[in-house]
Amino acid sequence: MRGMRFRPHCWLAQEWFSPDGIPGIAIPFYLAHQRLISLERRFMREVEGGNRNWLMRILRHEAGHAVDSAYRLRRLKSWREAFGPASLPYPDTYRPRPGSRRFVQHLGAWYAQAHPTEDFAETFAVWLKPHSPWRREYVGWPAYAKLQYIDELVREIGEQKPPIANRSTIEDVTHETSTLREHYEQKLARYRLPRRSGADELLLKVFTTVPRSRATAKAASVLREMRTPLRRQIQRSGAFSEYLVHQVLRLMIVRCEALNLYVRGSRRELKGQLLWVVARLAESYEERKLPRVAL
């Protein structure tokens, strides 16, 4: 792993997580088989990590937590100076600041702002990505110093044997006795309604989960193609900052991938619809209006 001696162990559980003190990664059981993936999408409307790009983003994030546990990094004074004390209470919700450049952007929803441990995991994930352009993308940002810190830290500890080699597993599904029906009844009761952001609601007005044919274009691919002209046209209005528009478009692409959306109707109409979605989201995600995000 990028010159590190450490290798996290993995196991199947009900959801994604890396337990404090255990340098490993729990992976949702539904990713083990296509039929289970279909069940997850049917009941929860999305599959967290259900495509390669999203899967690798989450794995890199969880690898950050595992590295933290393996080397007890949060105990370092330099770590606390860079990210803050890991001992801070973990919140049930957080109110992100989209305009802040003190944090990297990786999983979406400005997740690095949730807690110092998430800030580290998100920053580590950006650094870990193969051929990561972080030196170019984050130059001039306060977050750049955190990326530099991780780059230097890994060089220092990379060849060291991790002091924590705990191979325990938590909530391993091999010990699970409940049925899939019971699992989804409990999961749906926990969430009541599947978690869906305002972005999802707007995107589903423009795109579809059911492609007309095998040749139907994926929404995320089309958004990537149209990102630059959309950004330029919205910026000409002067209503929103360049940074906010950039982050909104990035969020839209991530959610299109997560929901596995496809283009619906003609592309001639699509640009106007997308301009409307970007403007609605930019308005609602301005710092003074941004709602609290549940963890």
pLDDT in tens, the chain (295 residues): 677 889 999 999 999 999 999 999 999 999 999 999 999 988 887 788 988 888 999 999 999 999 999 999 999 999 999 999 999 988 877 877 877 899 998 887 788 999 999 999 999 999 999 999 999 999 999 999 999 999 999 999 988 999 998 999 998 999 888 999 999 888 877 665 444 567 888 898 889 988 888 889 999 999 999 988 888 888 777 777 776 788 788 888 888 988 889 998 777 788 888 988 888 888 776 644 554 555 5
CB 65 within 8 A of CB 125: no
Residue with tokens 């839209």: 252
pLDDT (0 to 100) of residue 194: 41
Q: Give the up-direction half-sphere exposure of residue 16: CA atoms within 13 A in the CB hemisphere.
A: 17
Which phi and psi (to 5°) does residue 25 adopt? -130, 125
pLDDT (0 to 100) of residue 104: 93
Residue with tokens 């290798």: 7
pLDDT (0 to 100) of residue 191: 62
**CA–CA separation, 288 and 143 (whole Å):** 22
Tokens of 249: 């478009």
Strand partners, 26: 11, 17
Angle CA 66–71–72, to nearest 5:
90
**CA–CA separation, 224 and 108 (whole Å):** 16
pLDDT (0 to 100) of residue 288: 47
